[in-house]
Amino acid sequence: MSAITAAAIAASLLLGTSTDVYTPILDDPADEVRLGAHGAAQNPATSGQDDGPRDRYFRTDLTTCNLAATWDGVDLATTLDTCPDEALELTIQGAPCTDDEYELADLWVERLRDDGTYTDPEHLSGRECITPTDLAPHARHEFATMHIPTPQATLQAREPLLAGVHYPAYATTQPQIVDVTLLDVPVQIRADPVEYTWNFDDPHTPGGATLTTTDPGQPWTDDAPTPDHTWIGHTYTHLGHPDTHTGTHRDDAGNWYRPEVTTTLTTTWQGHFRITGTSTWTTIDGTITTTSTTDPVTLTEARARLVCDDTHGHTTC
């Protein structure tokens, strides 16, 4: 049996039905080949349950040793030993993974015996190139359970709010990124705010109490123009009648007002993921939402009255 044929048989026995093409290189056709494994043990596949010993799973690269012996009785023992000093360590390498894939080493297991000891490592699968498609369902589950800090929602106004004034509304948001491990692959999950739905708690103003935008809005500053309907925000035009609408009241001076008015923001987040270290982000199917609520305020109306004194204290009548 030629050296190439023996090595190929040995590799196929250990590597199962992998589609990778393995091309071992031997110096001497009369040499014997022993295949083993080396590397650090990983957490058990059933980690997270601590109810006693169990089979130990780990990933490690495959090592091939040229022992300079005869081909009779090829030794196929799979151990964690590296090649002896007198042996030549060979490389069996499949096609490389692409820049957007992640290479996982061969998967091995040490079976737990009844007496509490472990068997020699057993080869379960060959090296793999993990693609974003492989990770997509796991990334979707991770995104669905992702904790996103609730954005701060602001209706920029001083209490009490006055009917007829346009008040800017804005949200303080930014993309959120978490680092996770999926299928033994380091992955980044990113949540981007993509839509904002404002409910201004205003059942009496024509046009409805809600506004949906893709813009988080902006605060007004002293050097900015007066906010108008082009700004993300809201104008309360009607309070409702205190005699016919629950929630609207009349004070002792006859002024109408609505207490406990709140603004609620629902932020919609779109998920993306990528294998850590790569540049391509993949969109995750579905979205998640967060809800923010402002502190309650009182809404009233500015009423015109005739007075005899102006703002400087001069009497005009």
User: Residue 309: what pLDDT?
Assistant: 72
User: Residue 161: what pLDDT?
Assistant: 95
pLDDT beneath 50, residues of the chain: 1-48, 68-80, 90-92
Q: Is the pTM of this model over 0.85?
A: no
Q: Find residue 302's DSSP bridge partners.
A: none
Q: Return the amino acid letter for 1.
A: M
Q: Residue 149: is the preceding peptide bond cis (ω within 30°)? A: no
User: Residue 306: what pLDDT?
Assistant: 63
User: Residue 53: what pLDDT?
Assistant: 80
Q: Name the region of 280 (left: φ>0; alpha: ψ -120 to 50; beta: rest).
A: beta
Asked if residue 153 lies in contact with residue 294, where contact means CB atoms within 8 angstroms, the answer is yes
Mean pLDDT of the residues in the chain:
78
| Proportion of the chain above pLDDT 70, given as a percent | 70
User: Residue 63: what pLDDT?
Assistant: 61
Residue-by-residue DSSP string for the chain: --HHHHHHHHHHHHHTT---------S-TT--EEEEEES-----TTTT--SS---EEEEEEEEEEE-S--SSS------S----TTSEEE----PPPPTTSEEEPEEEEEPBPTTS-BPPPEEEE--EEE-HHHHHHHHHHHHHT---PPPEEEE---SSEETTPEEEEEEE---EEEEEEETTEEEEEEEEEEEEEEE---TTSTT-SEEEESS------TTSPPP-TTSSEEE------TTTSTT-EE-TTS-EEEEEE--EEEEEEEEEEEETT-S--EEEEEEEEEEEEPPPEEEE-------SB-TTS-B--
User: Residue 125: what pLDDT?
Assistant: 83
User: Residue 218: what pLDDT?
Assistant: 96
How confident is the model over 206-246, as pLDDT tens digits? 877 899 999 999 999 999 999 999 999 999 999 999 999 99
User: Residue 292: what pLDDT?
Assistant: 97
